[in-house]
Amino acid sequence: DEFEAFARMMEVDGQTPETIAKTFGTTVAVVKGRLRYGLIHPDIRAAARGKVITLDTMKAFAEHPSQEAQREVFEALTKDGGYLQAYTVRQALKSRGVQVSDDIGAFVRADYEARGGAVAADLLEEHSVLEDAALVETILLEKLGAAAEEARIKLGFAWADAMVRYDYATMANYGRVYPGPIEPDEAAQKRIDEITAELEKLQLEMEDEGLEDGAHNALYERVDALEEEARDLQEAYSAEDLARSGVIASWQGGQITLHVGLIRPEDTVKEEGARGSSASPTGEEAPDSGEITYPASLAEDLKTERAMALGAAMALYPEATLDLTLFKLVSDVLASGMSVTQAIKIDARKEYRS
């Protein structure tokens, strides 16, 4: 009753949310919140009065300020009968546009309105809706594509692309290359030394227990930025990797995210085919005419001897053993990507030589 009474006061009596708030001794925000529900399509409010849908389900329709959109969604969801949930309503209304308070809506709104995109205005500005979802996606892809192209030019990749959402199933088919260590020139080395000195100072500042959270976080951000700069001065992609890889920009966590060093699936197939064509027709490499072959039993004995020699060497040189362990761990993580579920497993057992 209150929702509809407020709506009548505005529609029939010509009052504003401000005058209604003054009349009832409440805030404008409260009045606007009530008005949003009072302005829901009459058929939907009638269904709530008749207990056909719950009050929460009725309120869900206020997610979109257009009564026409509300009515169409209501009819579509109730034509087959059954219980209607608020969650189902909200999901259905999401396909009818993007709220300006949504991270994507806020990101594209200026360009969207500049192109004449329709906006369904709500009493509460943050609930207004950009109704042309296709135009929203077009603008978003353009902005993502521009960011990817900028990164491609800066880093020297061969191609750039964009996707609205990063699809892990699709991206699993992509290969990936990574930058390798390089020898910095004199200017780069000078900057690295400066960064190292500054990081040491920052580390001392961060050890101050009386430091406030805001200041501490600012120091962390500065450290991260300096470490990234130093890393960029000491790493680079090879010319071969740059010529076959690219960058994809996607929208994640309310911002543009760049995925660099990707190799398209078709290029990965070509590389594998090229390697396969260099082999013999039977799929095996042609043996060298001077190659020595050993009986299977002798080959197994040699493998055992080699493993034991390697084990003895690792026991004598623990530093090299640690390097080998780290190399294997990092190689597995970089090669497996998102499929890694366990970083490392170490156990002790007694081995018997057969």
pLDDT tens sequence across 77-87: 988 877 889 99
| Same-domain check for residues 211 and 266 | yes
| Same-domain check for residues 168 and 243 | yes
Residue 245, pLDDT score: 95
| Same-domain check for residues 230 and 317 | no
Residue 161 maps to a domain: yes
Residue 233 maps to a domain: yes
**Of the candidates 224, 244, 277, which is a domain's last residue?**
277
Residue 32, pLDDT score: 82
| Same-domain check for residues 147 and 190 | yes
| Same-domain check for residues 231 and 314 | no
| Same-domain check for residues 247 and 327 | no
Residue 350, pLDDT score: 60
pTM over 0.85: no
- Which residues of the chain fall below pLDDT 70? 123, 269-292, 335-354
Pairing of strands 159-163, 246-252: parallel
List the domain range (segments joined by +) for residue 303: 296-339
| Same-domain check for residues 187 and 245 | yes
Residue 318, pLDDT score: 83
CA 64 to chain centre: 27
Cβ neighbour number for residue 290 with a 10 Å cutoff: 5
Residue 200 maps to a domain: yes
Residue 96 maps to a domain: no
> In total, how many domains does the chain have?
2
| Same-domain check for residues 209 and 326 | no
| Same-domain check for residues 146 and 266 | yes
Residue 278, pLDDT score: 55
Residue 319 maps to a domain: yes
Residue 192, pLDDT score: 92
Residue 127, pLDDT score: 80
| Same-domain check for residues 143 and 270 | yes
| Same-domain check for residues 237 and 157 | yes
Residue 204 maps to a domain: yes
Residue 229 maps to a domain: yes
- State the greatest distance between any 2 C-alpha atoms of the chain, in Å, as a whole number: 102
| Same-domain check for residues 226 and 300 | no
Residue 325, pLDDT score: 84
Residue 302 maps to a domain: yes
